[in-house]
Amino acid sequence: MKDDNIIELADTMFQVFRLMKEKMSYTDKLTHLSILQIQTLIFLHNTKNVSMGDIAEYFCIELPSATSLLNKLCDQKLVERYEDQEDRRMVMISLTDGGKTLVKQAMRERRKKLEMILSYLSKKEQLDLLTILKMLQNRLQK
């Protein structure tokens, strides 16, 4: 690929991600939370037995930042901390009932907005995009 194409690709990817972030922002009921906080709730919903270290690693943030992030969610009673039964030094995190309700609402809203964004593509283009993104994800994870 020519250098000009790589620059254009990088610029286009940035613009698409910026526009998707803008279009996928959440409703007033969820706007008191940052996107990182909402993504943390979704991560907790999808993953079992989550530690503070797991959150820091998943979001590529430092442990003190993960602690600060979780403190804010605990203050809002969306998550709770508990001791690991096998290793009491380990602090585990889980969703409260209020957190579960909020994350389900966020996931429904995210799905509707993503369906709207992807409606600009044909079914084949959606599958092609998924294939390319999965391929890129797999190669970056290696």
Instruction: Render each residue's pLDDT in the chain as its tens digit; 142 residues.
Output: 667 888 999 999 999 888 887 777 766 566 678 888 889 999 999 998 899 999 999 999 999 999 999 999 999 999 999 987 887 788 899 999 999 999 998 888 889 989 999 999 999 999 999 999 999 999 998 8
Instruction: Return the pLDDT at 80.
Output: 95
Q: Which fold has domain 28-141?
A: Arc Repressor Mutant, subunit A (1.10.10)
Beta-carbon neighbour count of residue 20 at 10 Å? Answer: 13
Beta strands in the chain (DSSP E): 50-51, 79-83, 91-95
Give 2's DSSP letter. Answer: -
User: Which residue ranges make up each domain of the chain?
Assistant: 28-141
